[in-house]
Structure 1
Amino acid sequence: MADYRSTVRSAEALGGAIARLRFERGLTQEDLAEALGVSRRYIYEIESGKPNLFALRLFEALRELGAHLEVVAVDVDGPDR
């Protein structure tokens, strides 16, 4: 997989980054849901950036502090896993 880095300033952007990484790893939403022990619908909601109180407050706090999140892809089969 190619290196991937994305600045994330919203739940929608975070969901998009997760969807991209999942797709690049050849996983379906069902595959990821099963690996995490959640429903496929939950994965869909995350990837869609469905608003929830945690995400809203998280990104509000980051904006207030002048910060953002960054998603960086790592080798999931590497020694740090």
Structure 2
Amino acid sequence: MRSLDELEVAMFRAAVETREDLGLALQQARLAAGLSQRDVAVRIGASQRYVWELESGRDFTAIERLLAMLGATGAQLVVEVPEGDVDG
């Protein structure tokens, strides 16, 4: 069992049921980490537009299928954003 000192405290926690939910969670994670969309794009090897599209809840077939599978199996995707910076 972990002590309270070892537990991370989430400043944002969300169940993701739609691509819009996912976009908001990704945006909150980026903001909590103090990163711009361009910073994230560089870190993941994508364009800033791609990051914007993810955060905007744009229609990506892979995301729709992932969410559909979660729903079909009764599983839930939960995003927790810890406080503070992230190591890149």
> In the alignment, what sits opposite 1:12?
20
Runs of 4+ aligned residues of structure 1 deviating over 3 Å after TM superposition are 74-77
Structure 1 spans left out of the alignment, 5+ residues = none
1:1-81 alignment to 2 at 5 Å? Answer: 3=10, 4-74=12-82, 76-77=86-87
Identical positions, percent: 38
Structure 2 spans left out of the alignment, 5+ residues = 1-8
Higher strand share: 2
TM, length-normalised to structure 1:
0.82
Deviations 1:15-60 (A, max 9, x none): 1101011112211101111111110000001111111111111111
TM, length-normalised to structure 2:
0.76
How many equivalent residue pairs? Answer: 77
Q: Which amino acid aligns with 1:33?
A: A
